[in-house]
Amino acid sequence: MNGQAPHGMTAHMPPTYQQPMPPAGPPPTQQLPWQHRAERRTSFLAQVRVEFRKLAGTISDRILLVIGPVVLIASSIWVTFAMGRMYSAADQIHPAVWSLRLAPIVLHAALIKLIAGEWQHRSAQPTLLVQPSRARYFLAQATVVLTLWVFCAGAQIAVAFIVTPIAADPTAGYLLDYRPGWVVGVIALGSLSAIMTALIVSMLVPNAAGALAIYVGVMPIMMILQGAAPEVFIWIDPLAPALTLATLSPIDSAAPAVASGVLWVGLLALSGLQVSRREVA
């Protein structure tokens, strides 16, 4: 009797005993109420709304979202006043560029908690069981990232245009007014590069604490390297394109900006690929 199914049972002892089965039939022609509901896709905006709800889903998230803008604006203002003499246009945009890396760090932390935390706590699973498209999931999170970027860049642009004239040396005058497009371009590009760094870390490290530790650790290291070996670091600095555009690059060429751009876009693609293939535990 061992190894055999009891009388009346279908024994499956693959591969030799398994019965070939016909393919599944076509869907029923008459639609039931659940079929009607199942055929209606929920809007992408609903998915984005859920990602925003998750961004502010916990008490610590909400604390970060309240403190983040304050830190962003206050530290940008502080750096602008602390920078001292600002005689040239490059000098005057320098505080804005300098604060691109550190000022949004709290808001970036909220973002890292959202994205890496989803994988750490496996809360991506209930989301993907309801909306299985990883592309939509990724795009919804990307929309949150872009919104945060617009906010960070907007706040930093506002600080540059409002605070810099006050902080600028009166003998040199305020020079950024002559080239507002350049100011917006530098800050928008730098802010995008900074938030992309946070995004890449959070996608590559599926653990919120680990990703936060890496991000918060890497940012000061980047600043130290920027000061200690600027001509070397610029080649891998995620902010190299913005620094080059701001004429603050230690190398007078577009090559470091291109190299850094290729590196970080490649890392973004790699992290996207990893997320798309990651097992949802």
Partner 1 sequence: MLSARELTKVYNGRPVVYNLSFDLQPGTVTAFLGPNGAGKSTTLRMLTGLTRPTHGQSWFAGKPFTAWPNPAHVAGVLLDASATHPGRTGRSQLRNTAILAGVPTSRVDEVLYEVGLGDAVGKKVGKYSLGMRQRLGLAQALLTRPPVLILDEPINGLDPEGIRSIRTLLRSHAAAGGTVLLSSHVLSEVDQTADRVLMIGNGQIVADGPLRELVSSQQSVARGPDTARLAQVLQEAGIGVQPTPDGAVLANATPERVSDAAFKAGVQIHNITEHQQSLEEIFFRLAGGQQRR
Q: How far apart are CA 239 and CA 237, in angstroms?
A: 5
- Give the residue with the Cβ less far from partner 1, 85 or 122: 122
Is 47 a binding residue for partner 1 by CB under 8 A? The answer is yes
Task: Identify the residue among 66, 81, 122, 173 touching partner 1 (CB under 8 A).
Answer: 122
Q: What is the DSSP string of 130-189?
A: HS--HHHHHHHHHHHHHHHHHHHHHHHHHHHHHTHHHHS-TTT---GGG-HHHHHHHHHH
- Give the residue with the Cβ less far from partner 1, 171 or 277: 277
Is 109 a binding residue for partner 1 by CB under 8 A? The answer is no
3 state SS of 199: helix
Is 5 a binding residue for partner 1 by CB under 8 A? The answer is yes
* Cα dihedral sign, 86-90-96-102: negative
Candidates 12-20, 155-163, 176-184, 253-261: pick the segment binding partner 1 (CB under 8 A): 12-20
Measuring CA to CA, how many Å separate 21 from each of 7, 8, 14, 15, 115?
21, 18, 13, 13, 42
Report the 10 Å Cβ neighbour count for 148.
23
Orientation of helix 134-162 relative to helix 44-55, angle to 10°: 60
Candidates 35-43, 154-162, 166-174, 187-195: pick the segment binding partner 1 (CB under 8 A): 35-43
The CB-of-195 to partner 1 minimum distance in angstroms stands at 22
- Give the residue with the Cβ less far from partner 1, 10 or 171: 10
Report the 10 Å Cβ neighbour count for 23.
5
The CB-of-61 to partner 1 minimum distance in angstroms stands at 7
The CB-of-69 to partner 1 minimum distance in angstroms stands at 21
Is 32 a binding residue for partner 1 by CB under 8 A? The answer is yes
Task: Identify the residue among 128, 139, 259, 268 touching partner 1 (CB under 8 A).
Answer: 128
Candidates 5-13, 83-91, 174-182, 232-240: pick the segment binding partner 1 (CB under 8 A): 5-13
- Give the residue with the Cβ less far from partner 1, 116 or 153: 116
Using alpha carbons, select from 225, 281, 275, 272 the residue that is nearest to residue 250.
225
- Binding residues vs partner 1 (CB under 8 A): 1-15, 18, 21, 23-28, 32, 34-35, 37-42, 46-47, 49-50, 53-54, 57-61, 117-118, 121-123, 125-133, 279-281
